[in-house]
Amino acid sequence: MQEQLLKDVEALAAPGTRKVGSQGHVLARKFLVERMKTAGLIPYSTAGYELPYRVENSKYTNLAGILPGVDPALDPLLLIAHYDTCGDQPGADDNAAAIAIWLSVLKKLKKQPLQREIIFLFPDAEEPPRFLTDHMGSTNFYKQQLHGKIHMGLVLDLVGHDVPMEGMEDLLFTFGAESHNCLADLLLDTKLPAGLRNIATLNRYVGDLSDHHVLRENGQPYLFFTCGRWEHYHQGSDTPEHLNYGKMESIVQYLVSLVRGLDRSEFTPTDLNHDPIKMELALINRAIGPYLVQAGIPMNNRADIQQFVLAWIQQFQL
């Protein structure tokens, strides 16, 4: 699996940029269309995988395909990773690694069909200066191109690297469990593969850092996964050799288990202010309990979580 992850990352990073409108952006789109086709996804549109859209005088293209489920009457899951880059940088971690992970998840999910359809969405125009504007591909897809409803969305961004802190390299951060009261138990119950630990907390501590923005704004259940920002973030040095493909493989295994759990879940209308504090405390203590004890950091309530998370946000620039 690591070999395929590397191949996909290298192919997307090879042009040196996927900036909107660049030749690398066009090549990435062609590469992904071919990968989606060979992976067996059904084009989301009758016109194909490419979903063009226009905002003001600018043209963009989302890419979307469907992995069929057993029961097409069920609302589908939406799996998202943007494919553009911020300026002239290779974007191996941002966001080729996430795309490679979803493609590997797809391969594993095909071996045992789910009840629900899965929409694999690779949106355009996530990066500045279009970030959090109507130009974003995920926003346009959800508001203009989506057929019907979705069950929930999972978003990946910056998931290919080690967390830059000794002893914490294998951490994966998760945000958004407050978006539905069923998600906390699911995060607690989903088994983690060896070599991966997870910490989950409220999205409001960091704000909308990626394509889950439109899901949160519309009261849609979602989870956002990231390893945070690091020294190569939005830099020309964001190249394939700096990624940890063993960690990426572990993330693939984890997400496959999580998606299968979500496939079986039933979401009822929920309070958008749900507080998943028990899950947060459990995951934090499970992941880094010895570190907290050694550092004398209490972890017993919301105030403790907030103080700790805000300090880490500053350190890791989440």
Per-residue pLDDT tens digits for 160-207: 999 998 899 999 999 999 999 999 999 999 999 999 999 999 999 999
Is residue 316 scored above 70 in pLDDT? no
Q: 256: domain CATH number?
A: 3.40.630.10
Spatial distance between the Cα atoms of 231 and 111, rounded to a whole number of angstroms: 37
CB 78 within 8 A of CB 137: no
Q: Where are the alpha helices (DSSP H) in the chain?
A: 2-13, 23-38, 97-109, 137-140, 183-189, 213-217, 245-264, 277-295, 302-316
Residue 82 pLDDT class (50, 70, 90 cuts) = very high
- SS3 (DSSP) at 224: strand
pLDDT tens digits, 90-141: 999 999 999 999 999 999 999 988 999 999 999 999 999 999 999 999 999 9
CA proximity to 113, closest of 157, 55, 177, 68: 68
pLDDT band at residue 142 using 50, 70 and 90 as cut-offs: very high
In a domain, 197, yes or no: yes
Are 226 and 158 in contact, with CB atoms under 8 Å apart? yes
| Owning domain of residue 134 | 2-275
Q: What is the pTM of this model?
A: 0.96
pLDDT of residue 221: 95
Average pLDDT of 31-38?
98
Q: Is residue 79 part of a domain?
A: yes
Amino acid 218: pLDDT: 95
The total domain count for the chain is 1
Examine residue 282 and state whether it is found in any structural domain, yes or no: no
**Does residue 57 belong to any structural domain of this protein?**
yes
Predicted confidence (pLDDT) at residue 318 exceeds the cutoff of 80: no
200 belongs to a structural domain: yes
Question: Following DSSP, what letter does each residue of 159-190 receive, concatenated?
Answer: -SS--SSTT-TTEEEEE-GGG-TTHHHHHHHS
316 within a domain of the structure (yes/no): no
311 domain residue, yes or no: no
- Tokens 């063009």 correspond to what residue? 52
Cα-based angle 235, 236, 240 (whole degrees, multiple of 5): 100
In a domain, 292, yes or no: no
Strands (E), 15-101: 42-43, 50-55, 58-67, 77-80
